[in-house]
Amino acid sequence: MVPDLRAAVQQAPGVSSFIAAASKVINRGAAEVVVAGHSRSGPMLPAIAAGCGPRVAALLYVDSPLPHPGHSWVDEAPADRIASMRRRVAAGLLPRWSDWWDPAVMARLVADRALREQLVAGLPQLPASFLDEPMPEVEWPGPAGYLLLSEPYAEFADRAHSRGWPVERRDLDHLATLTAPAEVAAAIAALLRRT
């Protein structure tokens, strides 16, 4: 199940709202779950799991930064990117994710124009406070794994490996969950067998 949490992340404080909404969705079920996070949702996984108790069997990071408890995005991201994003804040909101990059980047990541337009139309605008809100001071003691889809996240995959986590590597792209879902699903299944 992939819940739609866009409304939650648009509310300030975005990180806390997203974590609470994700935990609430997971707690509606009765079965044991594995919680996966892609991209910037990855660092929130330990806090989401903490809100769900023993029902969470493992965490999977998909082309994502690793947890950084007590630190905000500002603490972890390149200063020039943060400065650029702060200049583009309007009415307290960051631009949509697709507008953080040159349009050619999105066209390269999602070559299918109709699919790209559908993606962009559904992207939320995050509150500017999202940049400064620290991740909760939560550590995850259980099993975790890492799925690398694109080269910019290789450092995180290497760090996950050094922690003893199983790592699956695929030569895809950051949005392969959208552009190559069958390959990503197979990689997640392989990672789950090892986690």
Tokens (6 digits) for 28: 């509606």
In the block, residue with structure tokens 């552009």? 179
Report the alpha-carbon distance of residue 49 to residue 155 in Å, rounded.
24
Q: Is residue 121 part of a domain?
A: no
Q: CA 129: distance to chain centroid? A: 17
Q: Is residue 103 part of a domain?
A: no
pTM of the model as a whole:
0.91
Q: How many CB atoms neighbour CB 173 within 10 A?
A: 18
Q: Is residue 88 part of a domain?
A: no
Q: Is residue 90 part of a domain?
A: no
Q: How many CB atoms neighbour CB 11 within 10 A?
A: 14
What pLDDT is attached to residue 1?
64
Give the pLDDT of the chain (195 residues) as one tens digit per residue.
677 887 777 777 878 888 998 898 888 877 899 999 999 999 999 999 999 988 899 999 999 999 999 999 888 888 898 898 899 999 999 999 888 888 898 999 999 999 999 999 999 898 999 899 999 999 999 999 999 999 999 999 999 999 999 999 999 999 999 999 999 999 999 999 998
Q: Is residue 91 part of a domain?
A: no
Q: Is residue 145 part of a domain?
A: yes
C-beta of residue 152 within 8 angstroms of C-beta of residue 173: no
Q: Residues 6 or more apart from 35 whose CB is under 8 A from it?
A: 22, 26, 45, 48, 49, 52, 56, 58, 59, 60
CATH number of the domain at 154, please: 3.40.50.1820
What pLDDT is attached to residue 11?
74
What pLDDT is attached to residue 3?
76
Split into its structural domains, the chain has a count of 1
Instruction: Tell me the residue range of the domain where 39 lies.
Output: 6-82+126-194
What pLDDT is attached to residue 77?
83
Q: Is residue 167 part of a domain?
A: yes
Q: What is the 3-state secondary structure (H, E, C) of the chain?
A: CCCCCHHHHCCCCHHHHHHHHHHHHHHCCCCCEEEEEEHHHHHHHHHHHHCCHHHEEEEEEECCCCCCECCCHHHHCCHHHHHHHHHCCECCECCCHHHHCCHHHHHHHCCCHHHHHHHHHHCCCCEHHHHCCCECCCCCCCCEEEEECCHHHHHHHHHHHHCCCCEEECCCCCCHHHHCHHHHHHHHHHHHHHC
